[in-house]
Amino acid sequence: MVTTLPDRPVLMREALGETLRELRRAENLTLREVSSQARVSLGYLSEIERGQKEASSELLNAICGALGVPLSQLLRRVGDQIDARAQVTTLPMRRQTAAAA
């Protein structure tokens, strides 16, 4: 589950990291096993799972390959988590001046 603080939007990297960790644990794989199979350093993979680093699409593909999960499935799960927790926010509307109207 993505943990958020009040008045703080869900960050993509955090949702992605938590989802990757859930998938890895569901497969009973260690960080070391996934990092070896994906050819990414153990420390960097750990930072990705903790939401501290953003992974490139190539790296996400490699991690998904190590987990045996299609990238599309990972992204759908992340999107669903973000949707479930996202707060609807609106940008303030600019007032039109008489000259602009």
Domain range summary for the chain, segments of one domain joined by +: 12-85
Give the model confidence (pLDDT) of 69-100 as tens digits: 999 999 999 999 888 876 555 555 666 656 65
For residue 64, give both structure tokens.
């998904």
Give the pLDDT of residue 5.
Answer: 47
**CATH class entry, domain 12-85:** mainly alpha
Residue type at position 55: A
Give the pLDDT of residue 83.
Answer: 87
Whole-model pTM: value is 0.76
Give the model confidence (pLDDT) of 22-61 as tens digits: 999 999 999 999 999 999 999 999 999 999 999 999 999 9
Task: Count the Cβ atoms, other than its own, within 10 Å of residue 97.
Answer: 7
- What is the CA angle 91-93-97, rounded to 5? 155
Give the pLDDT of residue 87.
Answer: 58
Give the pLDDT of residue 4.
Answer: 45
39 contacts: CB under 8 Å, gap ≥ 6: 62
33 contacts: CB under 8 Å, gap ≥ 6: 66
Give the pLDDT of residue 9.
Answer: 77
